[in-house]
Chains A and B, each alone.
Chain A
Amino acid sequence: MTPDQLDSELVTGSRAEPVLFAEIFDRHHADLYRYLRHRVGATLAADLAAETFVTAFARRAAFRPERTSVRPWLYGIAHNLLRNHVRREQRRVAAYARYGADPVADPGAVAEFARADERADSAAVRSRLAPILGRMRPGDRDVLLLVAWADLSYAEVAQSLGIPVGTVRSRMNRVRRQVRAVAETESLDILLGERHG
C-alpha cells in the first residue's frame, strides 16, 4: 500500500472512526506548517495549519478518494484559508523583497540580509526572486509554490486548486520563464561583480 492509499483509507475510515484522522495530522502537519510558514509567517502558519486539519476533518465526508489524494486535498483547504489572509501575505512578500529574508521566520536574518549587497551568493539570488514572486499573479504564484515548496505534482496542484492540469502547465511555463530570467540575470551580475571586484 502506498502512502497515498493509506492516507485515503485513513480519511475514509475516519468517517466511522473519527480518531483515525489524528494519523493524518501526524503524517502531514509538519510539512503543511512549513509551507504555510514560508508563505505567511510562523504565527499565522500555526493557526492556519491547525485550522486546515480541523476544516479537513469537518469535511472528511466530502473527500473523494477516486478524484484526489489527501495531500492536494489538504493543501487545497489550506489555500482556501490562505486566501483570507492575502493582504497579510502581500505585506510579507514586500518585506521579503526588501530584506531578502523571511523577517518572521528568522528575525535575526533581516539585519543580516539587509546587507545582502555584500553577498554574491544565493542570498542575492533570493533577494532578486522575492520581487518576482511579489509581481506574479496570485494564481501563478500558488502553482509555483505548491510545486516548489509543497512538492506536489502538476496533477496534484490541479486537484488542490481545482483547475485543469493544462492550466497548471501553462502557468508553470510562464513562471519558470520569469524565474529563469532572474537567475540568469543574477548569474551575469555575479560574473560582472567578480570581474569588477
Chain B
Amino acid sequence: MDELNLLEDLHREIPGPSAAETARARARLFTAISDPRYAARRPSVTARGLAVLRRLARPRLWAPVGAAAAVTAVVITAVLITAPTAGPGPQAHRLGSSPRPITAAYVLDKAASAAARQIPGQGPFFVSEAEFISPDRPPAKPYLSAVWSSQGGDVITGFPHAESSPPLPWPITLSQVRHLPSDPVRLLADLAKTRGIAGPPNYVEFWAVCMILAYFPVSPPQRAALYRAVATLSGLRLVSRARDPLGRVAAEVYGIAGKTGPYVSSEVMFFDPATGDLLDYEMYHAFGPITERRCSATPELIALLASGYVGTVVQLPPGAPLSPKPVAQAAVRGCPPVGGPQPTAPARSRS
C-alpha cells in the first residue's frame, strides 16, 4: 500500500463539522463582515491586481437609488442567464460578463441595502394582504393579515376583510420584533431566544424572518437587518429564476432545513433585491421522498400582494387588489436539489 494512501485512509474517518459548529463559525465570519474595521484597506498593486480592481471599479450595478427598475432588470437578467453548477451545495452565480460572482448572500445584502433606503411609513395601523397559492386549488381571495397598531404591540383581530390569518411560527410580539438588534448575527440569536430554544439559529428563523418581513411594521433599518440575518445562514442557494408564480420579477433564495429519513424540508423566499420588498415565502414540510416527489409541481406558498400603514382598521393597504391575482407560472418551478453526496473533486496533481 502506498504510504500516502495510509494517511489518506486515516483522514477519511475524520468527520466534518456539525451544523452547530458551522453555524457558529459562519456567525463569526458575518460579525467580521459587518464590522467596519475589517474593510479592505490594502489592495494589490500588481498589474493583474490593478486589472481586477479596474473591473471591480466599474459602475456598480446595484447602487443608484434612482435606477431601481433598471437594477431589477439587470438582476433578473443575471439570474436568468446564469445556471447553477452541479452539486447540492451553495453555488455562486455570475453576472453576465461581469467578473463579480453572484451568491445568495450577495443578493440578500443588496436587498438589505435597498430596504434600508425605503421611506419609513407612518399611520395608526399596519396591514398586509397576501394570497395563498397552491397547485391543487384555484387562486383564493386574498386575505388580510393581522393588523398591528403602530402605537402598540397588540394584534387587532376580527378585521372585516380577513378570511384567515397566517400563523406565526411561534408567539412573538411587535415589541419583541422592534427590539431586535441590527447586528444580523445577534438578531438571529435573539429571534431564536423568543421561541425558547437553545443552540444556534436555523431555518425556523429563516421562516420567522419571512413572516416578520411580510406582516410586521418594521422600520427600513430593521428590514435591512432581517435580510442580512438570513444571509448569515449556511447552505443558502440562489435559484436561477426570474419570476415568482404571480409573474413578478424576483430573486429566489432557499435553504434546506434538513432531512428526516427520506423527507426533506426547506424554506424559500422570493424578493426584489432592487427594492428590498419580500414577494413570497414558503416553508416545505416533509414534502415527499426525494426520489418520488414531483419536481414539476408548484409548491404552496404565500404571495404578498400589498402592505402598508392605513388610517382605520377597515382600510386596505395601498395597492391591495380585491380579487386574487392569477398565477402566471403554476407548474414551472423546479425542485431544489437536495441530498446525495457532495461532488467529488477532480484528481489533483501532487507535483
Interface residues of A, Cβ cutoff 8 Å to B: 1, 6, 9-10, 12-23, 25-27, 29-30, 33-35, 37-38, 46, 49-51, 53-54, 57-58, 60-66, 102, 105-106, 122, 125-126, 129, 144-145, 147-149, 151-154, 169, 176, 179-180, 182-183
Q: Tell whether B273 is near chain A: CB-to-CB under 8 Å.
A: no
Residue in chain B with minimal CB distance to A43: B21
How many angstroms between the C-alpha atoms of A33 and B19 in the bound complex?
A: 12
Contact B38 A58 (CB under 8 A): yes
B138 CB to nearest A CB, Å = 40
B120 CB to nearest A CB, Å = 24
Q: Tell whether B292 is near chain A: CB-to-CB under 8 Å.
A: no
Q: Tell whether B48 is near chain A: CB-to-CB under 8 Å.
A: yes
Report the tally of A-B residue pairs with Cβ distances under 8 A: 182
Known: A15-B40, A23-B90, A66-B49. A148 touches B99 (CB 8 A): no
Q: Tell whether B17 is near chain A: CB-to-CB under 8 Å.
A: yes
How many angstroms between the C-alpha atoms of A148 and B49 in the bound complex?
A: 32
Residue in chain B with minimal CB distance to A155: B351
B111 CB to nearest A CB, Å = 11
A interface, by DSSP: helix, strand, loop or mixed? helix
Contact B44 A62 (CB under 8 A): yes
18 contacts between A and B (CB under 8 A): A9-B100, A16-B60, A17-B106, A19-B105, A20-B100, A21-B33, A27-B89, A29-B22, A29-B26, A34-B11, A34-B15, A34-B16, A49-B25, A54-B28, A60-B40, A66-B49, A126-B6, A149-B11
Known: A54-B32, A147-B4, A153-B350. A20 touches B103 (CB 8 A): yes
Known pairs A18-B39, A60-B40; list 19 more (Cβ under 8 Å).
A10-B92, A12-B53, A13-B56, A17-B106, A17-B109, A22-B232, A23-B90, A23-B92, A25-B234, A30-B17, A50-B29, A54-B28, A61-B44, A64-B49, A122-B6, A122-B9, A153-B351, A179-B3, A183-B1
Contact B231 A22 (CB under 8 A): yes
Contact A13 B17 (CB under 8 A): no
A22 CB to nearest B CB, Å = 4
Residue in chain B with minimal CB distance to A21: B33
Which residues of B, 218-254, contact A by the 8 Å Cβ criterion? Answer: 231-232, 234-235
Contact B33 A18 (CB under 8 A): yes
* Chain B residues closer than 8 Å to A34, beta-carbon distance: 11, 14-17
How many angstroms between the C-alpha atoms of A169 and B210 in the bound complex?
A: 54
Q: Tell whether B349 is near chain A: CB-to-CB under 8 Å.
A: yes
Q: Tell whether B161 is near chain A: CB-to-CB under 8 Å.
A: no
* Chain A residues closer than 8 Å to B94, beta-carbon distance: 1
* Chain B residues closer than 8 Å to A18, beta-carbon distance: 33, 38-40
A108 CB to nearest B CB, Å = 13
Contact of A19 (CB < 8 Å), options: B4, B231, B349: B231
How many angstroms between the C-alpha atoms of A25 and B41 in the bound complex?
A: 21
How many angstroms between the C-alpha atoms of A66 and B44 in the bound complex?
A: 10
* Chain B residues closer than 8 Å to A25, beta-carbon distance: 25-26, 29, 234
How many angstroms between the C-alpha atoms of A13 and B48 in the bound complex?
A: 14
B288 CB to nearest A CB, Å = 26
How many angstroms between the C-alpha atoms of A145 and B42 in the bound complex?
A: 32
B282 CB to nearest A CB, Å = 22
* Chain A residues closer than 8 Å to B231, beta-carbon distance: 19, 22
Contact B350 A61 (CB under 8 A): no
